[in-house]
Structure 1
Amino acid sequence: MTVLVLLRHGRTGYNAEGRLQGSLDVPFGAEGREQARAAAAALHAEYGVPDRIVTSPLRRAADTAAEISAVTGVPARPDARLTQRSYGAWEGLTWDEVRQGWPEDYDRRLRGQDPRIAGWGTAAEVSARVAEGLAEACEGARLVFAVSHGSSIMLGSLALLGLDVESTVLGKLEHGRWNVLESSPGHWSLAHYGHGPASSLAESLPEAD
């Protein structure tokens, strides 16, 4: 059996402001660093040393993974397939700005659907690449830590679990918290959801990752 721990990166200033980051490489600040260190210590205490650590190459994820590497001694391998979805023209904007400029697409997003804007990473596209990267990381491994982003973790998890990737059944994962998936031959299951010592202010909108 393989245990896959999916950790969301530490909180950034854009997260606090409700700005969509997507492919923007926004680093986290003091709060995010504290969340990353707390998560790293908790993961090590609960699960021990992983066989592999993989991470999105975006700094907010890679810096979170670096905190885990510092505790476990396992180097983190960046994988572009784990990066956050692109938000196209919405990147850098607040949700109020999105609502004012794209009211119909904003409503679609609130319903969990892909907006019809240029550059948006669709659920189908993102779930496929994230699931591929995660499955590859788990090959021949007993325990894998993967650091990624809210939407990417949700979509990749849905794909591995064989669920509708447009479903909202998994809900929101807070910064510095993790989900745990377990695999047996030909089957993935969700063992834990939203674990972790860190917490952040709840966001009422779909995502700002």
Structure 2
Amino acid sequence: MLLYVIRHGQTDYNREQRLQGARDIPLNDTGRGQARANGEALASTSLELPLDGFDWVSSPMSRTRETMELVRTAAGLIPDAYRTERLLIELSFGDWEGQTLDEVGAHSPHLIEERERGKWRFRPPGEAAESYAMLAERTDQFLAGVDRPTICVAHGGVIRTLFQRIGKVPDEEAAMVDIPQDRILKIEGDQIGWI
């Protein structure tokens, strides 16, 4: 497997440390700059194939699609020549989406304590909410369909599951891995690291 993964650029929710999850929040100007810089970095890096030889795939959310199109443009490619994959949608924080952890802690301190005891399997309240363990099952489905070298734009939670699944990072550590928005992750076989 050869997979390059880029987290979407910054949004206002990221800047404000709000739980974004499955809310469709657009990039801000910083995020657009990060996406362009990642495209320039891809174009200037010696890759195994020409850029147009990769399968390009994105989460269908607007922040990932805009990131993908800015990356492709900066890399000298046609912006919209990629596909989307629903399996790559960020995990849902359910009823917590749009709030900061401090705000959640003000009304549900017992749930914050529960989350701190086991973030990987913790599922926030709300029908659509997911845990990282649940998201990892979707990630497995995506990985099972990767059949050629791929460049992917996804979300922080999805990338954390890649560290757990491929990098064998323990569950709780994987749930806490810092996922920058201005770097590119390379996965080759069972090796995973930032370039």
Task: State the TM-score, normalized to the length of structure 1.
Answer: 0.80
The question of whether the paired residues in 2 share the 8 Å contact of 1:106 and 1:115 is answered with: no
Partner of 1:130: 139
Structure 1 102/115 Cα, relative in aligned 2: closer, same or farther at 3 Å? Answer: farther
The question of whether the paired residues in 2 share the 8 Å contact of 1:35 and 1:176 is answered with: yes
AA of the residue aligned to 1:44? A
Following the alignment from structure 1 to structure 2, what is the Cα–Cα distance between the partners of residues 169 and 95?
A: 15
Partner of 1:144: 150
Partner of 1:93: 99
Partner of 2:188: 182
Task: State the TM-score, normalized to the length of structure 2.
Answer: 0.85
Structure 2 gap ranges (5+): none
AA of the residue aligned to 1:80? R
Aligned-pair identity (%): 29
Partner of 2:77: 73
Cα distance, 1:7 vs. partner? 0.8
AA of the residue aligned to 2:155? H
State the secondary structure of the residue aligned to 1:26.
coil
Following the alignment from structure 2 to structure 1, what is the Cα–Cα distance between the partners of residues 144 and 76?
A: 22
Structure 1 151/112 Cα, relative in aligned 2: closer, same or farther at 3 Å? Answer: farther
Cα distance, 1:104 vs. partner? 2.0
Cα distance, 1:109 vs. partner? 3.0
Cα distance, 1:80 vs. partner? 0.6
Following the alignment from structure 1 to structure 2, what is the Cα–Cα distance between the partners of residues 181 and 170?
A: 19
Partner of 1:54: 57
1:117 aligns with 2:125: yes
Partner of 1:8: 7
Cα distance, 1:134 vs. partner? 3.2
State the secondary structure of the residue aligned to 1:22.
coil
Structure 1 6/55 Cα, relative in aligned 2: closer, same or farther at 3 Å? Answer: same
User: What RMSD, in angstroms, separates the aligned Cα atoms of the two structures?
Assistant: 2.1
State the secondary structure of the residue aligned to 2:113.
helix
AA of the residue aligned to 1:78? T
Cα distance, 1:95 vs. partner? 1.7
AA of the residue aligned to 1:131? D
The question of whether the paired residues in 2 share the 8 Å contact of 1:127 and 1:165 is answered with: no
Partner of 2:25: 26
Structure 1 116/19 Cα, relative in aligned 2: closer, same or farther at 3 Å? Answer: closer
The question of whether the paired residues in 2 share the 8 Å contact of 1:55 and 1:79 is answered with: yes
Moved more, 161-170 or 126-135: 161-170
Moved more, 80-89 or 157-166: 157-166
Cα distance, 1:176 vs. partner? 2.5
Structure 1 gap ranges (5+): 196-209
